[in-house]
Amino acid sequence: MTPRWDERQRAMLGALGVNWWPAGAPAARPTAPRAARVAAPETASIPIPVVAPAPVPRATPAPAALRPVAAALAEAPQLQRPVAQAEGLDWPELNAAIHACRACGLCEQRRQAVPGVGHGQAQWLIVGEGPGEQEDLQGEPFVGASGQLLDAMLAALKLTRAVADPERQVFIANAVKCRPPGNRNPEPEEIAACRPFLLRQIELVRPRMVLALGRIAARALLSSEAPLGQLRGRVHQGPGGVPVVVSYHPAYLLRNPLEKARAWDDLCLAADGVEAHGAEPAP
């Protein structure tokens, strides 16, 4: 059983010198240089099966309120954009498809798509919401202050985004691969359009645990409209039966540092799940 946060904080964080707690010092950057990080396998000169020219009308106007992903999926045929198809793609094909994708309106203003980074067979798959300005510039998820906090959270579990074995190096992806303009939340139609890519990433990585950070990630993985607070605190069955634990997005934790204690509980719950299934084959 993974110890709860008080004990774990003393025993592990103190030893590691990692302090991302409300009363502590600013989050520490892990020691591995960015150059040591790896992107998901490089794109390849493989024909891209999912993309067609799309001189089409814009999708129907997005509603003010967030509508269920299921409803957006039901309306997908009306969007008149090429549907993202990732079934059966290998890593190079998948990354090429993501970079070329025009399945939703987020393609219009992106500098580049951001497929994800990490170990192709990682035990942990981290899912955020969507690229921000820096991610759009750099082509990597979770950079900037949120990324630094995520790195510190991972380090507290002896995990990293730097090159390591699949027990330690995570894979990091987002619910949508292109930046929503102005850093707005992705619309349900956009989450639905991009979901095939996320599902294929899960199929390829076959993680022991998926950590969904924030409401958008939780909805993309669980198709649930429940508030994040109701989704925390238990292990869900995600796509293909993969275990999913929901927690706060690091950007939220930066604004609400007192919630880090609850976030740590979530990480411990997820670590318990990985340990409990350590001897079992990945789903």
- Which positions lie near ligand SF4, rule CB under 6 A? 84, 98, 101-104, 106-107, 113, 176-178, 190, 193-194
Q: Which is nearer to ligand SF4, 190 or 266 (CB)?
A: 190
The closest of 242, 244, 173 to 203, measured between CA atoms, is 242
Q: What CA–CA distance (Å, rounded) separates 73 from 189? A: 7
Q: How far is the CB of 193 from ligand SF4 (least distance, A)?
A: 4
Q: Which is nearer to ligand SF4, 105 or 273 (CB)?
A: 105
Q: Which is nearer to ligand SF4, 97 or 149 (CB)?
A: 97
Q: How far is the CB of 80 from ligand SF4 (least distance, A)?
A: 14
Q: How far is the CB of 131 from ligand SF4 (least distance, A)?
A: 9
Q: Which is nearer to ligand SF4, 220 or 242 (CB)?
A: 220
* 124 sits in which H/E element: strand 124-128
Residues in the chain: 283
Residue pair 198/234 in contact (Cβ under 8 Å)? The answer is no
SS3 154: helix
The closest of 238, 243, 251, 250 to 271, measured between CA atoms, is 243
One DSSP character per residue, 88-99 reads T--HHHHHHHHH
Q: How far is the CB of 276 from ligand SF4 (least distance, A)?
A: 33
